[in-house]
Structures are given as C-alpha cells and as structure tokens.
Amino acid sequence: MARQETNRSGEIEVFVRVVEAGSFSAAARALRMTPSAVSKLIARLEARLGARLVIRSTRRLQLTPEGIAFHDSGVRILADMAAAEREAAAGAAPRGLLRVNSYVPFGQHRLIPLLPRFLERYPEISVDLVLTDHVIDLMEERADVAIRAGPLGESRLVARKLGQSRTVVVAAPSYLDARGTPRTPADLDRHNRMGFRFARHIDGWPFADKAGRSTVVPTTGNALVSDGEAMRLIVLAGAGIARLARWHVAADIAAGRLVPLLEAFNPGDEELTHAVYVGQGKHLPARVRAFLDFLVETVRL
C-alpha cells in the first residue's frame, strides 16, 4: 500500500491557528479552509500522534495536557521555520564564504588582480582561494567555483565560458643563443621540450604546415612541472622550450623576455577557460552568481 505523505509543518500551523482562534470555524476562515477540512486534519494529526490534543465541545475548545505541550512546541517550530526562511531570503544578497579553485596562471595573472574590485563591490563576501592546475572534485573539496583551462570532460557540472586564447611555443633569448632557434617542427628533436606532470588532452605539441598536414611532437625534455606558471618561470630562466597560452606570456613576448617560435606551423588551436560549478538557475547561491557575473564582466584573455 502506498504511504500517504504527511505535511507536518502544515499540520502544526493549522493546529496552532485553531488554538489561537479558539474554534475550528474561526481557524478555517483565517486559513481559507472549510471547518470540516480543519476538523479532519486535526483528527488525522491526533491519530498519527496516538494522543488526543483537543477536547471538543459546542462552546469552546479545551486542550489536553498533550495538546498544551504540542502547542508550545509547535509555536517554537513555526518561529524557527520563519527565522530560517528570513535567513535564506537574506542570503539572496551576496554574502558569506566563497570557495574558489583556479588553475595557477589564471589565478596569479587574472583573478588575484581582480579580487580587490570584487571584494569592494561585495563587502559581505569573503573568499577562500586555492590555486592548482590539477582538476579537483568540487563536491569533495567543497568548492563553489573552479576555473579550468582546456576542454571540459563529461560531468554534471555547469560551465560558463570566460574566454579563449591561442597557444604559442616560446623560449628565452638566452636559451636560443646557446642552443639555436628551431625553424621547423623537426628541428625540435635537438631541443629541450619541457612538459607537465599532469595529463593533457593532447600528448605533445601539434603543428601544421601550409599544406594542412599535421604532426604532433612529443615533449621529452629534462623537466616536468606541476603548473603553467612554474613552466613560464623555468622557460624565462632559459631551461628550455614550452608551449603555453598566449595570454599567459603576451607581456613577456612584448618585453622581449620570451620569443615565439614556429609560428608558421602554429595550427591556430585555442585553449578555452571556463568557470565550472554545481547547480544552476534560481537555486544558485547569490555569492556564486555574483562571482560568475563578475568574471564574465571583467576577465579578458
């Protein structure tokens, strides 16, 4: 037999209103119910509790000791529910702790410089920021938002695109002075091609010639690094060649600290950046929605 669902909070509200109104009919008018419906609801409540709450008479209602205790508890429960609803409604204004996880280059070069503006705009939000290029489990890490580079895998997360950037192969002038400048992808066999410790969606560096023929050159250098910013710094130090998002090294290229290589063979592929999060629509916490809107408004790659 199917179990009948019980609206316990509704039962409590009707019972408390009956006690306060002093009669079934007065409570029914206040609740926009029929007196018979109110009477039946109280009878079901008593049957579920296994106790008589009200002694009915033609003149007035009289509460049993169980009814008095249940009424007092019911008043407290309804007050607690009202308080909880007020707090939830107040949460519609952006406030509270926002936990953010970001891949390192974006965090250092884009997010951290923007955070003072965000916190000034939303003074009741505080931010817990973690930087890592490893993909985390948002639920396990209790993160509200993660900012990720590259293609997104299959998941139940919701994503908002923040931008995209071409990738570029770069080296420091000091490295090129010592080892020479590669002119074709085949020349990379004689160079130190540095890679990452974590898995990439393409195992190597893709290139394409003018005829459209593509090739992938593996990374077989003498250094592996954990994140894109560490890779940028080791390349700036002259240790080898790397392939990075152009937005990440644009200032270094403009200042002459890094030199773009093999641009004639660049396939033009782009690295996407997304903000991913759990949940969507009207159920999204206000602090998360405010942060996502801020990122879309301010981030330029």
Domain at 18, CATH number: 1.10.10.10
62, pLDDT greater than 90: no
DSSP, res 199: -
Element (H, E) at 121: helix 112-121
Q: Is residue 140 situated within a structural domain?
A: yes
Residues 252 and 175 in one domain: yes
* Cα 189 → chain centroid: 41
* The pLDDT of residue 88: 66
Domain interval for residue 201: 166-270
pLDDT at 89 over 70: no
Q: For 236-252, what is the mean pLDDT? A: 96
Q: Is the residue at 3 inside a domain?
A: no
* Residues, the chain: 301
Q: By mean pLDDT, which of 102-111, 117-126, 278-287 is the weakest?
A: 278-287
Q: Tell me: do 143 and 282 sit in the same domain.
A: yes
Q: Are 275 and 145 in contact (CB under 8 A)?
A: yes
Least confident range of 156-165, 195-204, 225-234, 252-261:
195-204
Alpha-carbon distance of 222 to 244, in angstroms, equals 17
Mean pLDDT value across residues 166-191: 96
Higher pLDDT, 135 or 293: 293
Share of residues in the chain with pLDDT > 90 (%): 50
Highest mean pLDDT pick, 3-7, 55-59, 251-255: 251-255
pLDDT at 281 over 60: no
Which of 33, 61, 88 is where one domain is finished? 88
Instruction: Report the C-alpha gap between 180 and 68 in whole angstroms.
Output: 91
Task: Give the mean pLDDT of 118-145.
Answer: 90
Q: Are residues 78 and 22 in the same domain?
A: yes
Is residue 176 in a domain?
A: yes
Task: Supply the mean pLDDT for the chain.
Answer: 88
Residues 277, 158 within the same domain: yes
Q: What is the DSSP letter of 50?
A: T
User: How does DSSP classify residue 193?
Assistant: B
Q: For residue range 171-181, list pLDDT tens digits in order.
A: 999 999 999 99
Regarding whether 266 and 178 lie in a shared domain, the answer is yes
pLDDT at 4 over 50: no
> Cα(249)–Cα(254) distance, rounded to whole angstroms?
9
What pLDDT, on a 0 to 100 scale, did the predictor assign at position 173?
98
Q: What is the pLDDT of residue 25?
A: 86
**Are residues 173 and 266 located together in one domain of the fold?**
yes
- Which residues, 6+ apart, have CB-to-CB distance to 229 below 8 Å? 104, 105, 108, 109, 248
What's the pTM? 0.67
37 shares a domain with 83: yes
- CA 56 to CA 233: how far, in whole Å? 83
Of 13, 32, 36, 12, give the one whose Cα is nearest residue 24.
36
182: CATH: 3.40.190.10
CA distances from 235 to 55, 149, 227, 247 (A): 85, 20, 13, 16
Number of domains in the chain: 3
pLDDT at 283: 66
Judge whether residue 3 has pLDDT over 90. no
- The answer to whether residue 2 is domain-embedded is no
Residue 264 is assigned to a structural domain of this protein: yes
Between the alpha carbon of residue 79 and those of residues 15, 25, 42, the distances in Å are 14, 24, 20
Mean pLDDT of 266-287: 83
Whether pLDDT at 194 is above 90 = yes
Report the pLDDT averaged over residues 16-24.
88
Asked whether 244 and 167 are in contact (CB, 8 A), the reply is: yes
In this prediction, residue 257 carries a pLDDT of 98
- Show which of 31, 61, 88 is a domain's final residue: 88
The residue-averaged pLDDT of 116-121 equals: 96
Instruction: Name which of 66, 61, 131, 135 is nearest 99 in CA terms.
Output: 131
Q: Alpha carbon 275 to chain centroid distance? A: 7
Most confident of the ranges 60-64, 77-81, 141-145: 141-145
Are residue 134 and residue 182 in the same domain, yes or no? Answer: no
Residues 233 and 213 in one domain: yes
Residue owning tokens 């406030």:
95
The predicted pLDDT at position 285 comes to 83
- Do 254 and 172 share a domain, yes or no? yes
Q: Are residues 286 and 236 in the same domain?
A: no
Q: Confidence class of residue 275 from pLDDT cuts 50, 70 and 90? A: very high
